[in-house]
A and B are shown apart, each in its own frame.
Chain A
């Protein structure tokens, strides 16, 4: 603010309030203080990821869905067409936008080496290669092909898996095929707790 602007402002501001306080100035009409923020935002339908009521969501992201806008979700509210929630959401669901945009999201594949006290960023290819190596070594050493009665059992007990119950069915089915084809028996889900 330069000297001249300040002077103008000071004078105008004070005069305006004085005159209006005296009831001498006609009122200027005002628009609503805040513009509606969703007017043309891209709307995507989804379902809440928390409990199993399965409420319908409307997610709003930046851009018009054009190829040059990176869609980032900035608002989520209930889907009024959804027959179960009819637009309503619980406080967890109502705050979902902060879950999606949590500062504690993971961004890159990382490894923590034995005895180390830090993460090291690695590429996906390195992650896949190293994990596959560890799995194969363990499986080749510990897969039980036959039990003591000679029955083919093909089970691998020295590696296990705790699976997600928030991923879609399709991911779940891929997980199941992945695990059983390797011989994993000890797969479980948080359904138990």
Chain B
């Protein structure tokens, strides 16, 4: 059964959209309220547990933050910053994972059809089987989220637990969150709750409390309440993220041009195959040409 809810898919254009008749599904969102987070890492561990990811056991690097960075085996990471404001120490915790942008730069940058899709509910999902490991999504992401796996050379990131969401459950990270700093629901509900909470926070003395839902990427599927909306850098967030100009150019101009080049490449590949043989090619790029993946998606 196909999802029929893909409102955006990499490697396609508006003229030939993916099957998306279920596009009226309401959008969902994760709301991260930094003012309620105590940096416990339940979200981080639940993410790895649910998604069967086990990053290597690292070493102490001078922080509570472990692992030190997102990776293909760590899709959600708690980040820690000690910040002094008005002579008062603040320990800022950031839930770092995919923002699920409405206008996802990763998807725009990706040229492989269906490797990155956006479902009607707003979730940006990687179908890593289709990924060719080019890394464009990695460099395009304004939040520095996707990572290539060093072994299979595929890109990975938070899926917002699309497998849980499709059966009606909340993402694993949200379910675990002990203080309610993470919430999940329709985007409408999350915006409403965020609005109330921000008013409450302003009453409690956080006059600059606000919602991080950056316009530059069309808004995000993970929205964040920050103590001080003017200081997103306290949480390691960019002040004004947007899809970069080269990425936009790539999608709108270069890619169509490149298609012609690809046709030429096919011809060369065939010639190469006939004259030289397959051994070298297979050794160079075994994962990228793993036929089992192709077979599987053919059946679906």
Contacts and interface: CB of A to CB of B under 8 A. Distances in A.
Interface of A: 1, 3, 5-7, 9-37, 39, 75-78, 80, 85, 87-95, 97-98
A94 B16 contact: no
A1 B288 CA distance: 14
B29 to A, nearest CB: 18
B289 A34 contact: no
A6 B40 CA distance: 49
Interface in B141-192: 159, 162-164, 166-167, 172, 175-178
B266 A14 contact: yes
A113 to B, nearest CB: 33
Contact of B112 (A17, A26, A90): A17
Contact of A33 (B126, B175, B177): B126
A116 B88 CA distance: 58
A92 B44 CA distance: 11
B42 A17 contact: no
Nearest to A8: B291
B255 A21 contact: yes
Contact of B266 (A1, A5, A18, A98): A18
A23 B113 contact: no
Contacts of B11: 17, 20-21
B163 A88 contact: no
29 contacts: A1-B278, A6-B273, A7-B270, A10-B269, A11-B269, A14-B262, A16-B113, A17-B112, A21-B111, A24-B16, A26-B16, A27-B9, A28-B114, A29-B4, A30-B3, A30-B127, A31-B2, A33-B129, A34-B163, A35-B163, A77-B49, A77-B175, A89-B178, A90-B40, A91-B40, A91-B45, A91-B46, A94-B176, A95-B48
B163 A37 contact: yes
Nearest to B11: A20
B50 interface: yes
B261 to A, nearest CB: 9
A39 B169 CA distance: 12
Nearest to B161: A34
B289 A32 contact: no
Given A3-B278, A20-B12, A29-B19, A9 B263 contact: no
A181 to B, nearest CB: 43
List the 3 shortest-distance A-B pairs measured between CB atoms, nearest first: A29-B19, A29-B2, A27-B18
A75 B50 contact: yes
A10 B45 CA distance: 40
B41 interface: yes
Interface in B46-74: 46, 48-50
Contacts of B128: 33
Interface of B: 1-4, 6, 9, 11-13, 15-20, 40-42, 44-46, 48-50, 111-114, 117, 119, 125-129, 159, 162-164, 166-167, 172, 175-178, 255-256, 258-259, 262-263, 265-266, 269-270, 273, 278, 282, 289, 291, 294, 297, 300
Contact of A29 (B18, B166, B167, B270): B18
Nearest to A33: B127
A7 B278 CA distance: 9
Contacts of B6: 27, 29-30
B177 A88 contact: yes
B213 to A, nearest CB: 25
Contacts of A32: 3, 119, 125, 162-163, 166
Given A26-B16, A27-B17, A98-B49, 14 more contacts: A5-B291, A9-B289, A11-B266, A16-B113, A17-B113, A23-B12, A23-B13, A27-B9, A27-B16, A28-B2, A29-B18, A32-B119, A80-B175, A91-B41
B100 to A, nearest CB: 14
Nearest to A30: B114
Given A31-B300, A78-B176, A87-B175, A14 B46 contact: no
B262 to A, nearest CB: 4
A15 to B, nearest CB: 6
B105 to A, nearest CB: 18
B21 to A, nearest CB: 9
A5 B12 CA distance: 26
Nearest to B297: A30
B133 to A, nearest CB: 14
The CB with the most chain A CB atoms within 10 A, among B17, B117, B178, is that of: B178
Contacts of A5: 291
Given A27-B17, A30-B127, A75-B50, A91 B266 contact: no
